[in-house]
Amino acid sequence: MAQLEVKDASYSYVNLSVLNQVSFAVSPGEIVGLLGVNGAGKSTLFKLISGLYFLQKGSIFFDKNLVASAGFCVSSLMRSRMGVVFQECSIDAKLSAKANLRLSGLLYGLTAAQIALKIESELLEFGLSTVANQPVKTFSGGMKRKLELLRALLHNPSFLLMDEPSSGLDQESFHRFWEKIHTRRCAHGLTALIATHRVEEAEKCDRLLILHGGQLISSKSPAELKNCVQGDRVCLSFLKTASGAQKLIWLNTLRDHFTDLNIEFINDDVSVVTALGHQLVPRLVEILPPAAVESVYVRRPTLADAFLKVTGARL
């Protein structure tokens, strides 16, 4: 049984179609990532599910109940059970952290006692207890993001909808946040749909939906996506102090000697796809002058490589 089901969702701005019959389902307790470059339709889909936009075509079901159809936004049945984290800050900067959370708790129907109890424990867990009474406008970007995440979880939603949730978080906060999500998933069956560009975040999802040109073109696990990409990636960095002209000469030297390989030059680094990367490394290095290479390493395909193969675009 799906907790969220989107059927044939379509949306256009004037004469520009940004979503074209997108259909997918998210099962209870599943964490699903939504990937797509700018213009893929990801933001529009997010706004349809969150209730900011009304559906033009299609339907949305939540726990088997029809919550949105053409001409309507998602109903209060879904919104009351959903926590939402928008990409842009949506908290009141003039209020304190506690005041923002109290307001959110009241809007979701929590009692004053429930709100007080949850605020104290959650602020402590997110490392915000010492600034709880300060205006949010004095917070750093990372602190504001933590407060947004805390607010989305305050009413114990069964479904989380998040747009770039870890943006602005340091590594420690990032891992703490994801530990919290997985803990709630295990304890309460929390379901989540997450729009992200962060590969490390996408890796934590059970399944990834890839939107491209307004259409859903892939729905696979991170492992399945990476398995679709063959070969090692040999990454070679030229000497940083070398001129652009010199690097171009070295690049052409490699291409002249390895005409059977696709050698790309990305952000001043050489990237080569080959079946046995460790065997290619010494052959690449010996062709160039001793001082030309600053570093070289071999890696397996990443989600970014898989996304490039599926869409032809880079994350």
| Structural contact between residues 130 and 163, judged by C-beta atoms closer than 8 angstroms | no
What is the rounded average pLDDT of the residues 105-127?
89
Residues 262-276: tens digit of each pLDDT: 898 887 889 999 888
Residue 10 CA to residue 58 CA, distance in Å, equals: 6
DSSP 8-state symbol, 266: E
List the domain boundaries for the chain.
Answer: 4-226, 232-299
Residues 75-106: tens digit of each pLDDT: 998 999 999 998 888 899 999 999 999 999 99
Give me the chain's average pLDDT, please: 91
Q: In this model, does residue 1 exceed pLDDT 80?
A: no
What is the rounded average pLDDT of the residues 37-56?
92
Residues 193-248: tens digit of each pLDDT: 999 888 889 999 999 999 999 999 999 999 999 998 888 999 999 999 999 899 99
Which pTM value belongs to this model? Answer: 0.86
Is domain 4-226 in CATH 3.40.50.300, yes or no? yes
Residue 131 CA to residue 134 CA, distance in Å, equals: 5
Residue 96 CA to residue 230 CA, distance in Å, equals: 51
Place of tokens 């490699």: 254
Q: Band the pLDDT of 175: cuts 50, 70, 90.
A: confident
Pairing mode, strands 207-212 and 215-220: antiparallel
Where residue 185 falls (left for φ over 0; alpha for ψ -120 to 50; beta otherwise) is alpha
pLDDT at 88: 83
What is the rounded average pLDDT of the residues 63-68?
95
Which listed CATH number (3.30.70, 3.40.630, 3.90.930, 2.60.120) goes with 232-299? 3.30.70
Same fold, 4-226 and 232-299: no
What is the rounded average pLDDT of the residues 255-261?
92
**Token duo for residue 254:** 């490699």
| Backbone phi, psi, residue 104, to 5° | -65, -45
What is the rounded average pLDDT of the residues 116-145?
90
User: 10 Å Cβ neighbour count for 273?
Assistant: 18
